[in-house]
Amino acid sequence: MRTAIVGGGVVGLACAFELARRGAEVTLFEREQPGAGASTVAAGMLAPSSELEKTPQVLVDLQLDSLRRYPDFVAAVEAAGGQPCGYRDEGTLWVSRHRDDELELDHLCAIQQDRGMPARRLSGRDVRQIEPYVSPRAVGGLLVERDTQVDPRRLVPALRAACEASGVEIRAQTVVRAIEPRRGTLSLTIESDAGASQFETDQALLASGVWLEDCIVTPLPTLGMRPIKGQIVHLRGQPLADRVLRNSDIYLVPRADGELLLGATEEEQGFDLTASAGGTLDLLRYAFEVLPGIYDLDLTEIDVGLRPAFSDHMPVIGPTNVDGVFIAAGHYRGGILLAPGTAHWMAELMINGQAIDHLAPFGYERLLQNQEAPA
């Protein structure tokens, strides 16, 4: 089965790897280099617990399904490509700074227990026993041991190596301009330094993130993909935390090599990739309240990415009304977390014709219901 994947972010690469190891002949097209978009800007937290109250249960279920798949997914990627993914399983420690934070953590803990996700409330002293560099002003905490993390800047090259080792052909610096059905097959118009050409395939998976509907002509309806700008600050120096620290304003993600990530802002600024002083100031201020030792770290990078989002902040995963055309896009802030689950279910669908019911909540038809009919 010839399969084309449009988009080389973590979702596209994960799908390519899963399809290839199930026997599909896969060619992946990426307009820049794999991972050049939001994937390698992400912090890599694998934490379904973080926004339970705001997340529909069907999406929580998909997040938990993907989280369960992560250890085997990482093992398969590392075995195939020989590169580490930076996977860690120390959990997340929520830190409360005052009474309002404490009430929020009580609420979050109750929601997690209701949804079968264990968490443990801590005193301020308990928090500092676990993480000694946390601010002495911290009054309490919530430990979510089930949460894990992965380093996207390791995961993406590891996935690329695993894909190539599994027979995936990766065509970087290649833009797909159009997809057209032709007598049981699909014809892709592609553009690269060598010029324009046609590529024939049996199936096509659109996994191009914020570029899903930009500069490409397809028979599909407009779904309203939009970019959400996110800014993240990179610090380096003495290790100050062993696990992810967070509250309602900030998350701090430690890496094994001494790097500490602070994230992330959220702005509707179109395709603007400019870092702002205000966003950086907010991240540093909120992080200092949790971990005062960041004052002495080096600020090494300010990175900006564009999260792909639809109007309901739910991904579109599944088939379309065009035979052979599928979509896996709009993962918003959950692309890294949802990559293994998305890849598994898309492979079930595209190779075995199964998983239709499982993916039904993520069909794109829901986005068309509120669109006005043409005059």
Instruction: Quote the pLDDT of residue 370.
Output: 61
Show the low-confidence residues of the chain (pLDDT under 50). Answer: 373-375
Same structural domain, 140 and 259: yes
Instruction: Quote the pLDDT of residue 4.
Output: 98
Same structural domain, 297 and 231: yes
| CATH number of the domain where residue 16 is located | 3.50.50.60
Instruction: Quote the pLDDT of residue 371.
Output: 60
In a domain, 375, yes or no: no
Number of domains into which the chain is organized: 2
In a domain, 87, yes or no: no
**pLDDT tens figures, 179-233:** 999 988 999 999 999 899 999 999 999 999 999 999 999 999 999 999 999 999 9
Same structural domain, 243 and 299: yes
* 173, 71 Cβ separation under 8 angstroms: no
| CATH number of the domain where residue 303 is located | 3.30.9.10
Same structural domain, 135 and 39: no
In a domain, 373, yes or no: no
Same structural domain, 128 and 19: no
In a domain, 374, yes or no: no
Note down the domain range covering 122. 92-147+226-309
The predicted model scores a pTM of: 0.95
Instruction: Quote the pLDDT of residue 345.
Output: 97
